[in-house]
Amino acid sequence: MNELVHAGESPGDILPLVLLFLITTTISGIVCMFSVLYYLRNRRSASFAEPDRPPFSYYSPSDNLVPGFVFHRPSHWLAIRSRNTGFVQEALGLENANACSWMEGLSEAASNNRLFVSPPIRGWILVFGSQLPRPSDDIDRCFRFLTTLSEALGEVQFFCGDSVTDEHGWARLVNGKVVRGYAWFRETLWNQGRFSDAERKVGVKTYDYGDTPDLLGPRGQGHLWGNTERLYPLAGHWSVDPSQVSQADLLTSGLGVSGNVSSIQPL
């Protein structure tokens, strides 16, 4: 009888193991319970959360500019102080006009005989298209077109810059009167009005009628190339720099208008 008790395990030896097992099981159960409750609480909160906002719903001051494949630097354009796209469309005499997005309008203006009238951006409407007059084609025709348009719409600005031919020009008219006009292509085609503070700030170089800059020299070439590059900051001082149009501008400005140039409109 004594031998049997001695050979077996006593209750005192088993008790610590049982207690350790119970404590471990209890702690594991508590951890699992809190994990499940935490998951269910977060899932419920997510179901009542505000839905995700669409992309570009908010813009910081460092808005990204529009990618180049959407909005290349234009070679020439108009800036008109107006918030009424219909008035601009009527003054330009556009036919077969239709509302369109920026991408659609710019694409049609680049490939077809159409003009794109943008929706208002910061109080200005921009007009793009190869059918706009260029000073090198006929400076008198360009002058008449701008003065007629300004008489109808108020303040009209014109910008032209070609880095290949070095043609460049800019003009600002108010109520049909030229405040400042300058154009150069192989010679000075137009130089009217006072040299403005904005021109001085951006550093453009202008020439009087009859001036013959050294076009083969580095200074002359630098002035001509610099004028085409400074065209855009000049536009930014006067109205809107189209190379700085942002995604926020495009998404908040609405639709523009694309239309054919009227055969009777003196473009």
User: Considering the chain, what is the average pLDDT of its residues?
Assistant: 79
Residues in the chain, how many? 267
* 199-240: pLDDT as tens digits: 999 999 999 998 876 665 666 667 788 899 999 999 999 999
Residue with tokens 């108009």: 78
- Dihedral sign, Cα of residue 17, residue 23, residue 25, residue 27: negative
Q: Which amino acid is at 29?
A: G
Query: In this structure, are residues 106 and 249 in contact, taking their beta carbons and an 8 Å threshold?
Result: no
CA atoms of 183 and 162, how far apart (whole Å): 12
Question: Can you give the residue ranges of every domain in the chain?
Answer: 2-47, 76-261
**Cα gap 85→93, rounded to integer Å:** 12
Give me the tens of pLDDT residue by residue for the chain, a chain 267 residues long. 444 444 444 555 666 665 666 666 666 666 566 565 555 554 443 333 333 333 332 233 334 555 454 456 788 999 999 999 999 999 999 999 999 988 889 888 887 789 999 999 999 999 999 889 999 999 999 999 999 999 999 999 999 999 889 899 999 999 999 999 999 999 999 999 999 999 999 999 999 998 876 665 666 667 788 899 999 999 999 999 998 888 788 777 789 999 998 754 555
Continuous segment of H or E residues that includes residue 185:
none
Instruction: Judge contact between 92 and 266, C-beta under 8 A.
Output: no
